[in-house]
Amino acid sequence: MSDTFRNERAAFLGVERSLTGKRWATRLGDERLALAIAQRHGLPDAISRLLAARDVALDAVADFLEPTLRKFLPDPSHLKDMDAAVARLVRAVQVGERIVVFGDYDVDGATSSALLLRFFRAVGGNIGVYIPDRRKEGYGPNAPALLKIREEGASVVVTVDCGITAFEPLSEAKRAGLDLIVIDHHMAEIALPEAVAVVDPNRIDDASPHKHLAAVGVAFLLAVGVNRALRDGGWYGTSRPEPDLRQWLDLVALGTVCDVVPLLGVNRALVRAGLQVMAQRRNAGLAALADVARLKETPEAYHLGFLLGPRVNAGGRVGQADLGARLLSSDDPHEVGALAIRLDEFNAERRAIERDVLDQAITRIEGLYGADRQNLPSVLLVESEGWHVGVIGIVASRLVERYGRPAFVIGMDGALGKGSGRSVRGVDLGASVIAARQAGLLVNGGGHAMAAGLTVERDSLPELTRFLDERIAPQLGAAPPVRELGIDSALAPAAATKELVDMVERAGPFGAGNAQPRFALTGVRVSYAQPVGEGHVRCTLVGAERGRVEAIAFRANQSELGPALLDSARPVLHVAGALKIDRFGGRETVRLQIDDAASAAGSVLA
C-alpha cells in the first residue's frame, strides 16, 4: 500500500490526519505471516513485516531477497507468436534483409528500440530505427511512415511498445509488402492486427503469467529467442562471437521502471540485474545522462524513475522524438555528450510547460467542483485548446496524486483532441478506453490498467465523460477520496541502523507493486532544523533513548510539515519516511527521507 483510498484497518499510531492531510495505514494485513517469516528465516521484525505486507509467501522469501534471472526469466517461446517472430527475424538476419524497429517515443519505447538496435547490430543484422514525432504523427504506427520505410528498402518492421491496436496502418503496410512483427504489452482486443506475429502477454488468448512485463521486457525475450535460434543454427563462430545479452539489461531496467509496471517476479529480477549493469557505466549514453543529471551515487530504481527517465522522455515530449533512442544506442562519446545536454535542456523546458498546464487544469477542476473532494466525479476529464500533448500524461499523474481520482488531460487542436489518462489502484483505465472506442466515442485509444491514451472529437466529449464516469464509478467504489500513507513498521531512532537499511535494500528494487518501505520514527523531537534549497528542510530527529537520525523533507513548505519541523517549540512528533544510506564524502550515514509527520501529543521523552 502507498497512498490509496481509506480501508477498514485502524489508523497506524492513531493518525487519522497527518500534517500533509493523510491518514496513516499499516501495510501489513497478516501479523501471523510476519511472525512466521521472522521465526523461519531469522529476520528482524521490521524486515519480516515489510515482506509479509508484500504478500511474500513463507517459502518464497529467499527468492524474493535474491531474485535471479536463472530463477525468474521465462522461456520466450511460452508467449504466443514468439516462435513465428523469431523465425522471421532469423531469416532476415541470415540473408541480410533490412529490419526497421518502429518504436514509441517514451522511455519504454526508446529503451526497447535501443535494445533491439544494439542486439541486431551485434549479430550482424541490417537494422534501423524509426521513432514517430508525437505532435505530427501521434502515437503508434502510421501508414505514411510505414510506406516510406518500405520504399527505402525494408522488408521487416518490428513495432515495439505500440502496434497492438494499429489495425489500418498495419494492413496497409502489409499490402505494400512489409512483414510486420508486433512487440507490445498494452491491452489487446479480440481482433489482432494483420502481422507475421503479434507478441503481447496481454493478448486475450495468451495464458502467459507475465502480464506485467514492460515492452522492453518483451523485447528482451525476443532477443533471447532470436539469439538462441541463431546459436542453434550455427550462426556464431570465431569471426562472429555470440553476444552476452546481459550487457543490455541496464536498458531493460530503465524501461521497466519508467513504465511503472509492477516490480514483481521477472520484472524484479530484470531490474535488479539491470541496476548492477548500470552501475558499471558501460552504456555511454546512460553514463552521459547520469552526468548531466548529477547522479554520483550507485543508481537505484528511484534514480531511473525520477532523474534519468524524465530526461529520456523529454525528447519525445517537447523536443525531437528520436533523441532518447539515439542516446541509448550510441557509443560515440561526443554524440552522447551532446545528446544528453540537449535532453537535459528539453527536460527543463518540459517542467515549465508542465507547471503551466497543471495550474490551468487545477483551476478548471476546482472551478467546476470546488476544493472539496467529496464533490468530485468518479473520473476527472479536463481539456483545453493548445495544451502541449507532450506533458498531458504527466499532468494527469499530478491530478491523480492531488485528487485521488483517475484523470484524463486532453489537449485540443480545433475539433480534435489528444488525451492521456492515469489511474488509481483498482480501476482498469485501458479497458475503459477500449470500451469507449468500441462504443464509437473515440477516434482511437488504448492502454493498460494504469495508463491510457485517446484521440477524441470535441463533439464527443460530453458523452465520453458520461460513459467513463458510469463505467469507472463501480470500480472506484463509494469510499470518499481520503488519501492514505502506507507504513510498514514503527521504529525507535536507535533502531535505524546501517545494518537494518542494508537488509531493507535486499527487498528492492522498489517501485510500482513493491512500494518503497516506509517507517515511522515514533515520539521524536527535532533537535536541529534548517531550510535548504527550494522549500526543503534538513533536520536531526532525537528519540526518547537519545537515538538520533539525520533527516530531510523535500518540498516541506507545501503543507504543514515544513512549519512543524522548523517550530522552535520542538513538538513531539511521529515522523514517517524512507531510510537511506547517505554515502556523501566517503562516509556512510543513515538518513530518513521524510514523507510526512503527525503530532504525537501524549508521548514523553526521557
d(CA 453, CA 384): 16
* Of 268, 267, 290, nearest in space to 278 by CA: 290
Torsion region of 109: left, alpha or beta (phi above 0 gives left; psi -120 to 50 gives alpha): alpha
DSSP code for 364: H
d(CA 321, CA 216): 18
Contact 179, 157 (CB under 8 A): yes
User: Cis peptide leading into 509, omega within 30 of 0?
Assistant: yes
Q: By 3-state DSSP, what share of the chain in percent is helix, strand and coil, each rounded to 5?
A: 45, 20, 35
pLDDT number for residue 226: 98
Cell of 235: 550462426
Contact 51, 507 (CB under 8 A): yes
Structure confidence by residue, pLDDT tens digits, 100-136: 999 998 999 999 999 999 999 999 999 999 999 987 8
d(CA 536, CA 554): 4
Side-chain half-sphere exposure of 44, counting CA atoms within 13 A: 15
d(CA 539, CA 524): 12
* Of 126, 481, 106, 86, nearest in space to 311 by CA: 106
d(CA 78, CA 86): 13
Regions in the chain scoring below 50 on pLDDT: 1-2, 4-6, 602-606
Element (H, E) at 109: helix 107-122
pLDDT number for residue 318: 85
Q: How far is CA 592 from the centre of its chain?
A: 23
Contact 498, 588 (CB under 8 A): yes
Residue/partner pairs of 579-583 with CB below 8 Å, 24 or more apart: 579/496, 579/500, 579/501, 579/504, 579/517, 579/519, 580/501, 581/498, 581/501, 581/502, 581/505, 582/550, 583/297, 583/298
460, amino acid identity? S
Cβ atoms < 10 Å from Cβ of 156? 24
Distances 55 to 63, 209, 272, 413 between C-alpha atoms, Å: 13, 17, 19, 46
DSSP code for 429: H
d(CA 115, CA 248): 7
C-alpha R_g of the chain: 25
Contact 522, 574 (CB under 8 A): yes
Give the CA diameter of the chain.
80
575 three-state secondary structure: strand
3-state secondary structure 288-340: HHHHHCCCCCCCCHHHHHHHHHHHHHHHHHHCCCCHHHHHHHCCCHHHHHHHH
pLDDT number for residue 1: 38
The stretches of 404-511 forming alpha helices (DSSP H) are 429-438, 461-476, 498-505
The size of the chain, in residues, is 606
pLDDT number for residue 477: 73
Structure confidence by residue, pLDDT tens digits, 336-394: 999 999 999 999 999 999 999 999 999 999 999 987 777 889 999 999 998 998 899 99
Q: Give all strands (DSSP E) within 104-149, no chain letters.
A: 126-130
Cβ atoms < 10 Å from Cβ of 7? 13
d(CA 317, CA 100): 23
The pTM score is: 0.88
